[in-house]
Structure 1
Amino acid sequence: MQRGCDLLILPAGTKDQKIAAFGSSYSAYVNLTEISWLAGRHRQQAGFHRRAKAKRMLFTTQQDERKLGCSS
C-alpha cells in the first residue's frame, strides 16, 4: 500500500500531528486538496458571475428595445 493511502484513514487530529507522523507526503496531500478546492470554487464563482452578467445584459437589451420600439 502506498504511503499516501494511509492518509485517508487517519483518525481526526491536528494537521501538525499528521505531518509529524507521515512527513511531507501528508503536507503535499493537504496542499493539493486545498488548491483543488480553491480552484473549483474559483471556477464556480466565475460561472455564477458570467451567468449573472449575461442575465443583466439580456435584461438591459430588452429594456433598450422596448424604449426604442424594436421589440418583436
Structure 2
Amino acid sequence: MAMWSRAAVLKLYCSLLCEGHQLKYTDHEFYLSFVQWKFHKNKDLIRPEDKERQLEKGMFFFQNKLGGLV
C-alpha cells in the first residue's frame, strides 16, 4: 500500500498533469479538468486508509499510462 504524504500527492498530481500533455486521443482540457476535479474532490479526506487508497488508485492510473481499471 502506498504511504500517503503531501509530497507524494503533489508529485503524483504534477506527474499526471505532465503526462497529460502527451495524450493523442483525449481532449487535453477535458483531461486537465478531470484530474483537477478528482484531486479537489478528495482533498478533504480524513481517514488515512481513504487517503492511501486514493493515492494508490492515482499511482496505478499513472503507472498504466493513464489507463486501466482499479
TM-score normalised to structure 2 length: 0.31
Higher RCO (C-alpha under 8 Å, 6+ residues apart): 2
Specify which structure has the higher proportion of helix: 1
TM-score if structure 1 supplies the norm length?
0.30
Q: Larger C-alpha radius of gyration, 1 or 2? A: 1
